[in-house]
A and B are shown apart, each in its own frame.
Chain A
Amino acid sequence: MAEVAPSVSGRAWTRPPMIASATLRWCILVGTIVYLIAAFITLDVNWQRIAQGWERGQRFLGGFAPPDFVTRGDAIFDGVLESLWMAFAATVVGIILSIPIGVGGARNLVPPPVYIVCRSFMAITRTLPEILVAILFVKLFGFGTFAGFVTLTFATIGYFGKLLAEDIEAANQAPLEAMRAAGASWLQRLNYAVQPLVMPRAIGIAIYRLDMNFRESAVIGIVGAGGIGATLNTAFDRYEFPSAAAILLVIIIIVLGSEYLSAFCRRLVR
């Protein structure tokens, strides 16, 4: 079978293209090339500055060998603890506040006006990047963990509320109908027909959000909202690269640890 007979039509098989319309395919290709050219022209790379920065970059990488956990050990320890308090308190308060809003965002439980108000509030809190919110709250409440706590609370409301609302809408509607038929009040329906169905997943989401809040706390500290991010920013400002490397490693380790822990807890709940 060395010689393969050509197919009947005399053409070889080719893979079907991903985009069926040839015009659209070519438009996308040409558009991408034009865009890339325009983007690269405006990129504005300052080679001189990069050459200067190169030496600094090497010193930064050198900071990892070995990282310095000791010199600013107290500050790192305090920063981590601050981040943990902030993340935990914000998760708790955020979830408490997001329950009424999440329930209000479930179409099967509330009248349409309430639904629209709650949904738009959640959309706004999710659209604004956390660091922007942090800047505003730092202006309002002053530097420190309190601003960070309020920021994370705010972000938690939008995130948890939306997932809760979607869960309630997707849950089995039969118990709700049964309770209604039995003459249960709105609160009773919520407590006995909805809450048991959404609770296991809600706990999972809560644990995941705690993990997310800790990660975010490393970032919002950069704009003055306390926590490990503030420590990191200080280390960078003082060009203390070994300490900065140590802080980065601590963040990576804690993030990884909390990710595994949260995955484990969620499996336990399920």
Chain B
Amino acid sequence: MSVQTTNGLREWQRYDSKQGLLRWTLWLLGVAVFVWCFQKISAGTEWSFVLDAPEQGADIFDRMIPPDWEYARVLGRPLWDTLNMATLGTMGAVIFAVPLAFMAAQNTTPSVRFARPFALFCIVASRSINSVIWALVLVMILGPGVLAGTIAIAFRSIGFIGKLLYEAIEETDHRPVDAIASTGASSGQIIAYGVVPQVTPVFAGIAVFRWDINIRESTILGLVGAGGLGLELNASIGNLDWSRVSVILLAIFATVIVSEWVSARIRKAVT
């Protein structure tokens, strides 16, 4: 901040000239990079397709309305499959994520040299690949269906749950742990009575939060063949049956909103 004198008037300015110059350069750089990026995108774009998008959009919207309500009755089973992929996938992830998290946390790891790097690697590898890509791989191996989707959801969630849980374990209060250790408890007992009670509420919150995200993801895994609502969506889009597409979109929307509400309620109850 600086005060500048111009024509005998003292005027307050937010930045002095040096700061101002630096900000200008950064802005200029940012704008230049953006323009360059956009040119690259626009070079690969068929602009006539983009320009007739409003007509296309209006056309699709016209076909979407009215939604084919009869079709909603068939959606029960895909909806059930979607819920199962998310729920079973989250449960499966929890089974693997909990031991990994205890191995990865600095204060509970059995060995800093071997177990910790291994656990951290598993967590990172699982986290950096999206569940759609996992599903793509698994559908190829296991064939299309709910099983591939469930495992894809589980693989992606291990990293998420593992990371948040091990951070929670590292943040636990060490005093109860020390107290239990001083009574001569074994390391298993220390974890069971000193660490676990402290992280249980956090853990429940993380699991439910991930379940909620998984519902959202499992609605679309069918697009690559992993069952559930996405499979129906893919078929309907393939048939250009837009009045069915709108029903599925509404179903997905409703499912996501309900699951978000349920998860928010549970999280409020446990924390």
Contact = CB atoms under 8 A, between A and B. Distances in A.
Chain B binds chain A: yes
Question: Would you call the interface of chain A mostly helix, strand, loop, or mixed?
Answer: helix
A54 B224 contact: no
Contacts, number: 150
A88 B34 CA distance: 7
B147 A45 contact: yes
Interface in A71-89: 81-82, 84-86, 88-89
Interface stretch (A2-10, A129-137, A171-179): A129-137
Interface residues of A, number: 58
B117 interface: no
B62 to A, nearest CB: 14
A154 to B, nearest CB: 14
A44 B216 contact: no
Given A85-B37, A149-B41, A140 B130 contact: no
B4 interface: no
B136 interface: yes
B176 interface: no
Contacts of A129: 216-217, 219-220, 252, 256
Nearest to B36: A85
A248 to B, nearest CB: 7
A49 interface: yes
Q: How large, as a class, is the contact surface on chain B?
A: 35 or more
Nearest to B248: A132
Interface of B: 14, 30, 33-34, 37-38, 40-42, 44-46, 49-50, 53, 56-57, 60, 80-81, 84, 87-88, 124-125, 128-130, 132-133, 136-137, 140-143, 145-147, 150, 193, 197, 200, 204, 216-217, 219-220, 223-224, 233, 237, 249, 252-253, 256-257, 260
10 contacts: A39-B88, A52-B143, A53-B140, A53-B143, A85-B38, A127-B253, A139-B56, A144-B45, A222-B223, A251-B129
Given A43-B146, A46-B145, 19 more contacts: A42-B84, A43-B88, A43-B150, A44-B146, A45-B145, A54-B141, A81-B40, A85-B40, A127-B257, A131-B132, A131-B223, A132-B252, A140-B56, A144-B44, A144-B46, A149-B41, A215-B130, A232-B133, A236-B140
Interface of A: 15, 18, 35, 39, 42-46, 49-50, 52-54, 56-57, 60, 81-82, 84-86, 88-89, 92, 127-129, 131-132, 135-136, 139-142, 144-146, 149, 192, 215-216, 218-219, 222-223, 226, 229, 232-233, 236, 248, 251-252, 255-256, 259
